[in-house]
Amino acid sequence: MAAVKYELIKTCGQTGARLGRVHTPHGSFDTPAFMPVGTQATVKGMSPAELKDVEAQIILSNTYHLYMRPGSDIVREAGGLHGFMGWDRPILTDSGGFQVFSLGGMRSIKEEGVTFKSHIDGSSHFISPERAIEIQNDLGADIIMAFDECIPYPCDYNYAKNSLERTSRWAKRCRDVHSDTERQSLFGIVQGGTFKDLRVQSANELLELDFPGYAIGGLSVGEPAAEMYDMLDVTVPLLPGDKPRYLMGVGSPDYLIEGSIRGIDMFDCVLPTRIGRNGTVMTGAGRIIIRDAKYARDYSPMDPECDCYACKNFTRSYIRHLIKAGEVLGIRLTTWHNLRFLLNLMKNVREAISEDRLGDFRNKFFSAFG
Ligand SMILES: CN(C)CCSCc1cc(N)cc2c(=O)[nH]c(N)nc12
Ligand SMILES: [Zn+2]
């Protein structure tokens, strides 16, 4: 019996979107869902209580980073990620594949696994699919990911084909060592770059392994939006309707809406927290750069339509001052708001699905968002 189960509530009458709930050992979350990213066991600048204030229902953390520091043994001894970071709702951990390929500096990929250098001290490490599962078992997240290779964009067809076939063999090795305990469920990750036939091949190879959920990887790596949408149009219909579908590393408001329309249930992206830290604020009328001089005497909230603590209590003028002065509260407030903005966007997407009007919502949002 899988630890994580998907409950379909309804499909949108206007689009391919669907309203659902994912049930996990640490509670349930509504989908389509945006998952804030807490790479090193913290969503940067936000406490668990503040994450609940913005109504985050599930957060992400990262196998590679936590293996490197403080070490998955310490996290296990501390009661797993939930005990270590004081978050009692669902957690998902990425398998480290993406980070090893994007962070680990020099590396060599073999059938057995990947040898790479630590981005912290340059020390040499080896991660196999089996080791990636062991580490995620220690971290204790509710949803864990298979060890995969996220190929770059653009990528040579033959490399993409060989890579997805190895990713499928790695997925089987992950499945073989992960007993779907009542504690956590393992999701497979579809690869295949931007080649339709390879996406179909990757999905079919992973379907044979019967995962409780499926992620679509290898996208949001620099490809044009149209190519991402083409890959979703090919891949999503192949995935089981009774299991969660997770589009990794996505995304900005337009991608969240377009991905939901194509039947995606789960999204994660560092965007709101990362751009928040450099003073970029997401609003219904588009992004604003709060340190811009034009906000020096602007005593209105970051986003007049927003219900978050930052917009209810502080002005653009004050937050601009904090950011320019390098005050920690400044980036905490921009992060707080950006997270609430995307979480509210997804709440509005879910409401639009329940009322069969997500297509209309998309048109209205894009005309205002610009
Ligand atoms: C915080 N996030 C950046 C980390 C979680 S999502 C990372 C992530 C992002 C993207 N775009 C593609 C892939 C992919 O193909 N495989 C894996 N394992 N992770 C991926
Ligand atoms: Zn706000």
Answer whether 189 contacts ligand 1 (Cβ < 6 A). Answer: yes
Mean pLDDT computed over 25-40:
98
Choice from 35, 95, 170, 248 to test ligand 1 binding pocket (greatest atom count within 8 A of CB): 248
In this model, does residue 53 exceed pLDDT 80?
Answer: yes
> How far is the C-alpha of 249 from the C-alpha of 219, rounded, in Å?
8
Answer whether 95 contacts ligand 1 (Cβ < 6 A). Answer: yes
Task: Report CA(344)–ligand 1 centroid distance (Å).
Answer: 23
Atom in ligand 1 nearest the alpha carbon of residue 270: 1
Answer whether 97 contacts ligand 1 (Cβ < 6 A). Answer: yes
Measured CA distances, 122 to 105, 108, 196, 282 (Å): 8, 14, 38, 36
CB of 202 closer than 8 Å to CB of 230: no
Question: Is residue 76 very low, low, confident or very high in pLDDT (cuts 50, 70, 90)?
Answer: very high
Ligand in closest contact with the CA of 101: 1
pLDDT tens across 261-291, in order?
999 999 999 999 999 999 999 999 999 999 9
Residues within 5 Å of ion ligand 2 by Cβ? 306, 308, 311, 337
- Which protein residue's CA is at the shortest distance from atom 19 of ligand 1? 98
**β-bridge pairing 18-24 and 27-31:** antiparallel
The yes/no answer to whether this complex scores an ipTM above 0.90 is yes
- Widest CA span of the chain, in angstroms? 61
Choice from 42, 91, 98 to test ligand 1 binding pocket (greatest atom count within 8 A of CB): 98
CB of 59 closer than 8 Å to CB of 272: no
Task: Report CA(275)–ligand 1 centroid distance (Å).
Answer: 18
Is residue 161 within a helix (H) or strand (E), and if so which, with residue range?
A: helix 157-177
- Which protein residue's CA is at the shortest distance from atom 14 of ligand 1? 217
Ligand in closest contact with the CA of 36: 1
184 Cβ neighbours under 8 A, 6+ residues apart: 3, 4, 25, 136, 137, 140, 141, 142, 143, 144
Catalytic residue numbers read 94, 268
Tell the residue number behind the tokens 């009328």, with chain if given. 285
pLDDT tens across 312-358, in order?
999 999 999 999 999 999 999 999 999 999 999 999 999 999 999 99
pLDDT at 97: 83
Residue 356: CB atoms within 10 Å: 15
